[in-house]
Structure 1
Amino acid sequence: MSHEEALDAAREAVLRILTATQKSRHELEQALARKGYPESVVTPLLDRFDDVGLVDDVAYAGTIVRTRQGERGLARRAISEELRRRGIDEETATEALDQIDPEDERAAGARLAEKLVVKTRGKERDVRVRRAVGSLARKGYAPGLAFELVRDALAADGEETDDLPGTDDW
């Protein structure tokens, strides 16, 4: 296959991938490498896609932050890890993560805690606490904040929480 044929085939592959879902430059590089395209074809092709705005890691990182925080309630820490896995550089990731307001993150965590507590009604309180705090932790919430949010949700659900340790105990 000539260089031009490889370039055309790689271009088509990138367009197919991007038609399905937005990807980072790093993810596209990996996909093309798996398909056997040489770096001499991939780099200039992706540079051109960058130039015309079809590959835009800044916009992609912003989209990930908004959807993961807004739709899934993930905390900054979990989103940061996802951005790293997707090959978003540290500066771009930090810039995108800065759009998360700490109060919005806390409110998302509180909504999640409430849902988790409601799902475990009828279980022992310790089981409810463990499950909800564990779930929030997997979504990137710090242990102290997760525990506080769960304690508040349990109290709102009518559960006794006075004997549970406070946030300062974490």
Structure 2
Amino acid sequence: MTNVTFLPWVDPEGTPNSASPEISGEAAGDASKDLAGVHKLSSVMFTEVEEIPEETESVSALDIDSMEQALLRKLNTRDMSIHEVMSWLRSKDAAEGDAADLVAKFERLNYLNDERLARELTSRLSDRKGKSKSVISRELRQRGISHHAIDAALELIDDDDELAKATELALQRVRQFSKLDQETAERRLVGFLSRRGYSGSTVREACRQALATRN
């Protein structure tokens, strides 16, 4: 026996084998209209299902390319850590996976390198601004650079270099204290160097050398 599957709107028991003369024309017309409607609906549904993924993929690819170009322009204006780049991408509503892929690509191209950035910032903050190791470490941590990268960069500064920087700052500052007595000048000099994060022993030695020039 052959199994027959009927459309949902067909009643096999209630449907006669042949239409009666009285209703055959009307029924045929209604059936024709229903069938045309079904074909039209199916065509629309399948067309929409096929077009949506293609359009979404195009927009997504465009967004990623635009984000990459924007990040390149950003890096041309300032150095950024990996943490800072991820934060910036999130602020631009980049998807987490897209942001991670873009950061990984920029690391491979060496556009992003936290170890290099830590060394450059350490040199700049130490040589040009005379900041101590503790202050430099704090500023690098605030930029999201890892402890490992920070420690490696700070090893480039030895204790003698730090004392030399502190003494140089103390000599520059003590010239502004020409009208102050020795005790007041020393107190202000100690406070000045301490705020820059130098250790107690470094502050004392730098102050001693600077104050000796007042005699």
**TM-score over 0.5 (shorter chain):** yes
Mapped partners of 2:143, 2:152: distance in 1: 15
- Residue number in structure 2 paired with 1:33: 90
Residue 77 (structure 1) aligned to one of 134, 137, 140? 134
Q: Residue 170 of structure 2 corresponds to which residue in structure 1?
A: 113
- 1:151 matched to 2:204? The reply is no
Q: Give the deviation of 1:119 after TM superposition.
A: 1.7
Residues 33-69 of structure 1 show CA distances to partners (whole Å, capped at 9, x for unaligned) of 2222221211100100000000011110000011111
Match of 1:134 among 191, 194, 212: 191
Greater than 6 Å deviation, 4+ residue runs: none
Residue of structure 2 equivalent to 1:10: 67
Does the 8 A contact of 1:6 with 1:41 survive in 2? no
Equivalent position of 2:99 in the other structure: 42
Tell me, yes or no, if the aligned pair for 1:65 and 1:96 is still in contact at 8 Å.
Answer: yes
Amino acid at match of 1:46: V
Cα-Cα RMSD: 1.5
The amino acid that maps onto 1:141 is Y
Q: How many residues align?
A: 158
TM-score, with normalisation over the residues of structure 2?
Answer: 0.69
CA–CA distance in 2 between the matches of 1:155 and 1:18? 47
Q: Distance in 2 between matches of 1:126 and 1:35?
A: 55
Query: Any stretches of 5+ residues in structure 2 without a counterpart?
Result: 1-55
Deviation at 1:126, TM superposition (A): 3.1
In structure 2, give the amino acid aligned to 1:69: S
Displacement of 1:106 in angstroms is 0.7
Q: Which runs of 5 or more residues in structure 1 are unaligned? A: 159-170
Question: Is the contact made by 1:10 and 1:41 (CA closer than 8 Å) also made in structure 2?
Answer: no
- Greater mean alpha carbon deviation, residues 5-14 or residues 72-81: 5-14
Q: Which has the larger radius of gyration?
A: 2
